[in-house]
Amino acid sequence: MKKTQGIVLLCFALIATFVACDKIDELTHFKLEYQKTVTIPSSAVVDLPFNVQSPEIESNAETEFESNHTRKDLVEKIELTKMELRIKSPEDGNFNFLNSIEVYIYSEQHEEVKIAYLEDIPADGRQKLKLNTVRKNLMKYIKEDHFKLRLATRTDEVITRNHEILVDTEFFVDAKILGI
């Protein structure tokens, strides 16, 4: 009987340890969100690729890490988990003009890498696009003070007005909390 009780207690102890480890692991995960507006200029040409550069995006990584009880040197991984594009202006604008888009991240110290894309965008009046993300560790870009995005686009319609696009991103961060 005592042997059975000991085994049951040992099982409960192991389960409690795994649950506690999962809870601690959750504390080491958080999100970083960035928004930036880019302008797609009016065009007179169709089906030609063109690039749009974002203004510098200040990462505020140090502050974000600190508010999540960690430091830059304790970050293990940062991945892009969400990227959405929304038309800010013109008010009646939509993404009908866009055939495909690829988004790249880069910085002064690091070459660009593709982080999101969407192909065969339907001309159905959408004002919001959810892009497919590429799961890569982007830690070296986000840890820097600034980074930029490059949007490589291909149009299938002429647009006669500039389109301001809000680029909304969400990054998943896995870090150690104060060395845990």
Residue 42 vs residues 90, 113, 160, 163: alpha-carbon distances, Å: 11, 27, 5, 7
Of 7-16, 50-59, 170-179, highest mean pLDDT: 170-179
pTM across the whole model: 0.80
pLDDT at 119: 95
- Average pLDDT over the chain reads 82
Pick the CATH number of 31-175 from 2.120.10, 2.60.120, 2.60.40, 3.30.750: 2.60.120
User: pLDDT grade, residue 74 (50/70/90)?
Assistant: confident
Asked if the peptide bond before residue 55 counts as cis, ω within 30 degrees of 0, the response is: no
- Give residues with Cβ within 8 angstroms of 12, minimum separation 6: none
Cβ–Cβ under 8 Å, residues 46 and 107 = no
Phi-psi region of 178 (alpha: psi -120 to 50; beta: other; left: phi over 0): left
Q: What is the pLDDT of residues 13-25, one digit of tens each?
A: 445 444 444 444 5
Least confident of 8-17, 53-62, 85-94: 8-17
End-to-end Cα spacing for the chain: 38
Give the torsion through C-alpha atoms of 16, 17, 19, 24, to 10 deg. 140
Q: In the chain, where are the structural domains located?
A: 31-175
pLDDT at 47: 62
CA 174 to chain centroid, in Å, comes to 14
Percent of the chain having pLDDT more than 90?
Answer: 45
> Residue ranges of the alpha helices (H) in 28-92?
61-67
Rounded CA-CA distance 36/59 in Å is 12
What is the three-class DSSP state of 137? coil
User: pLDDT grade, residue 64 (50/70/90)?
Assistant: confident
Q: What is the pLDDT of residues 120-129, one digit of tens each?
A: 999 999 999 9
- More confidently predicted of 21 and 100: 100
Name which of 82, 62, 80 is nearest 71 in CA terms. Answer: 62
CA 65 to chain centroid, in Å, comes to 16
